[in-house]
Structure formats: C-alpha cells, structure tokens
Chain A
C-alpha cells in the first residue's frame, strides 16, 4: 500500500503530533514498510480462524457497582495548568 506525503501529514494531524517537514520522507518510508508487512499478513488465509482481540488468553474481570472513589479534586487539580471554580481551564474550543 502506497502512502504519500499528504497521508503522513494527515496521520500526524489526527494524532496531534507536530512533525518537521524535512522528516516526512523518513516517516513515509517507515510507515510504508509497516503497511507492507500488514499486506503480507493479509495474504494469509484466516477463513477458519477466530479473530483475536487481545493477546492475553483471558476474559475481562468485573467490578462491583460500588463507590470506591471519594472527592479528590484538590489533589488532582494540583497538576492542572489552570483551574477556576473547580473547573479545568483549557484554551477556548468551540466545536
């Protein structure tokens, strides 16, 4: 599967990663070889193979629906860059 420079920029944008224009060719090469490997895997016949959604052969453990967390706002907000009236503040976003 062939990617172009625009694909790399789009992927970087979706992941909110700031990349240097001069590195795009290198990423392009790396990503293309990863996708080539995926292509190669796609060619294996998996008709009778159950899909694997997790490498661990185990199932999810469940938690009782009981409150175990108390209010720790003070503590948790100490690491936030800006806080007011109990709210986390972020640069204005209007969707």
Chain B
C-alpha cells in the first residue's frame, strides 16, 4: 500500500519595524539583556498597548504581494497561556479576524513543474522573550528584549506532499517577505521560523491522518530533513500497527530526528477572546490600494525580467532574483560592467563561495557591488587574467584596497605588448627542442592538442602575466612556420 504525506507550514516572519508592535521600545537584534524592554513589554500594571502603524502596513504589503484577501476589519485576540518569557500571561494575536485572508502562490519544482499552494491566512501577533535555561544552576534567566517584536504568522493550506514542496514554499515566502522589505529573513537570528505540520495517509484516502507539529525550524535544510524524517517515522509506526498521537515535536539538528515536546494530554487550552485593550483595526480601500501601488518588484517578476533583460539562464535568474540584496547587488555589477553574464558568474561563483566560507550574507560582504564591478572591468579590458582576478578578489576581501590598487601593488597587470609576448614565446620554443620535434613530427590535426605544454611554459615564464589570448594567437603560427 502506498503512502502519501500531507504537509502544511506555519511561518513566523519577524517584521522589520524599528519598534515593537505595541510599544515604542527598539527591536534591534543583539542588545544587552532587557535594555529594550519597556513597561508595556514587561506588562506592568496600568500600561496599555498602542498598535504600530508600520506593522499594519507590512502585513497589508504581504497580503497584496500574494494577492490575498485583506480584511478591512481585523481584531486582536488574547491567546492565554503562562510562560515566564511572556509576562502578560497571554500573547496578543489574531484568531477570529486576521488581517490577511486567503491567498495563494506558485512554487517551482525541480522536475520543471509548478504547483499552486494555498495560504489560509496571515495574522499579526507579538513575539515572546527568551528563556535561558542553561545559564544558572537552579534558575531560568529571562530576557524580554524580543517580547513584543511584531510577527506575521503565515499559515498555509495542507497542500504540500513532500519535503521538496515544503522547502520550495518556505523559500518562496522567504523571498517575498525579503523582497518587499518586511522581514530581514535572517534565519540564524530567528527572524524567519517555520513550524511543519505533517501527517501521512494511504494514497487515495480522503480523511487526514493525525498530524504532528514540529516547531521553530530555522534553516531550509533542517525543514527538509525534519519533514523527511517525520514522514518515515510516521509510516513506520503505522505499518507496525501503531497510531500517531497528535503532538508537538522538536527537531534536534544534531541527532537529525524529531522528538516529543508536548503531547495532546498536556496541550494548551488557550481560551482565546478579543483583547479588550485594543480596538478593532479598520482600514479603507484607499489605504490598501496605496500600499499595492508602491509594492516593490516581486521575485517572480524580477526573475522573468532578469532572464529577459540580462539574458541569464533560467536557473541563475531564479537564484539571483530570489534574494533582494543579491538581486540589487547583481544589478549594480551588471549595469556598471555592461556584462551580465560575467556579473552572474562572479556573484554565484567566487562571491557565493567566499560568503559561504565566512558564513556571511551578500549585504555583509566586505567587497561591495561597485568594488566588484571595478575588478570585473579589469578582466574585460584585458588588464588582468581571470586567475589574477581571483587573487585580487581575495585581497579586496581582506581589505587590501581597491582592485586597481591591488593590481598595481602586486604587479598583476597582464603583459599585452605584442613584442614582449613574442619574445617570451620565441624563448620558450627555443628551449623546448624535444617538444618542438614532436610537434613537427605529429599529424597536423593532432598538433592543436600539443599546444598546452607551450602555453603552460609561456605563462610560467611570464609569471602568469602574458595575455593568454595573445599568446595563443602568436604561438601556433610560429610553431607551424617551423614545420615547413
């Protein structure tokens, strides 16, 4: 009997506001503990929340970006539970009337097909603080800097049936929220967290199986691994005649497996009710239209434009347009060098490799777009070879100066003086008696393959500075003239 998985995702995107959703405290990441937690965030008696206009705007931006229904009246509810990193004793969220209603988006799969995934809703809520369990022997330390940071929780329909589809969907949402600038998308810092709801059933079965929810996964690779593992785990239990308890699980990246966090018996009973401290949010068509009209270019449109305007391969266009910072970087380099292909190659090659090694994002690169463009221009005007350019790039990364400075400091400028190159070519030929004799003895159609040796020697003799194109142009005629 064949099994199929049913997967839905809940994504928490931290909104890139300057202040919290209900208070004027800063949301900047990495501040000293509790220095950005004000009386409202601490839920001191007598404080009242006031809603941040930017959080509303960003939620509506997301809704318009995926062409979802925008609810002109939405209401904040209290989700009641006790945990020390949530000092109010409830989380302010939206259950009954979320700001964003149903929408959908298309994901592209590796087999070339695409699939429409429904978005059930997206609602505004506040993040909790952080609990530090390991720091003190018998106590838990609480840092409330994150408490009250606005979140947009984006809930999908259970439309995905594999880990690949789930990752494609999560990446799509990630590229949308970062492209429209409502979330910095930094998964390592927890700005974009994913809960995976997974169940399995026999293929063709209508009824859904019991589902488990694996919470707070913070990388695309872990989403894939957690879902794959969870599907196998559930199928094994069911095939052994067992049943799946509905529960909340945690993904343990080190062991690459999920484990129980909360079982249904202990499941929270949240007793939602409308928050009496906050009035309904009412927006007008004009407001929504104004936001829609100033929405930045979306990833799908950008990908299309990149492949048409810059003639990029479909795969390159998809990768580069998927991340706004990278797309912006690319456009600067492509425009400044007037060579999109070269810009894409360097961005996805040397730059991506070096960023990866240093665990950095493109907007943290020590080599900015203008600097890289200046380097690529030196390849284009034949001042340096591609190999030398890699050396220059490394030096630029290490802060040794601009491309031109480094080229001159390290003496990497290519020799393009034909006379000088010809002198080296003739010297190498004069010193390679044996190889020259073999060349002369070879069948004319085999001779091309024998040029490699001479090229190597010449480049070595010139310390890599001879322009390879010019060397090639000179070498063969000189050798061939010896054959007559």
Report which A residues bind B (CB closer than 8 A): 10, 14, 16, 51, 53-54, 56, 58-69, 71-73, 76-77, 82, 84-95
Contact = CB atoms under 8 A, between A and B. Distances in A.
B142 interface: yes
A92 B34 CA distance: 19
A51 B261 CA distance: 37
Contacts of B51: 60-63
Q: Taking each of B135, B139, B262, B269, which has the highest tally of chain A beta carbons within 10 Å of its own beta carbon?
A: B139
Interface in B100-151: 131-133, 135-136, 138-144
Contact of B34 (A56, A67, A88): A88
B179 interface: no
User: Secondary structure of the A side of the interface?
Assistant: loop
A87 B112 CA distance: 51
Contacts, number: 131
Contacts of A69: 19, 23-26, 36, 38, 40
B140 A90 contact: yes
A75 B297 CA distance: 46
A85 B136 CA distance: 11
A83 B276 CA distance: 32
Interface stretch (B198-206, B279-287, B361-369): B279-287
Interface stretch (B80-88, B304-312, B392-400, B441-449): B80-88
User: Secondary structure of the B side of the interface?
Assistant: loop
B42 interface: yes
Interface residues of B, number: 55
B97 interface: yes
Contact of A93 (B56, B83, B276): B83
20 contacts: A53-B96, A53-B97, A54-B276, A54-B280, A59-B281, A60-B51, A62-B53, A63-B50, A63-B53, A67-B26, A69-B23, A72-B39, A73-B34, A73-B37, A84-B141, A87-B142, A89-B141, A89-B142, A90-B84, A90-B140
Contacts of B25: 67, 69
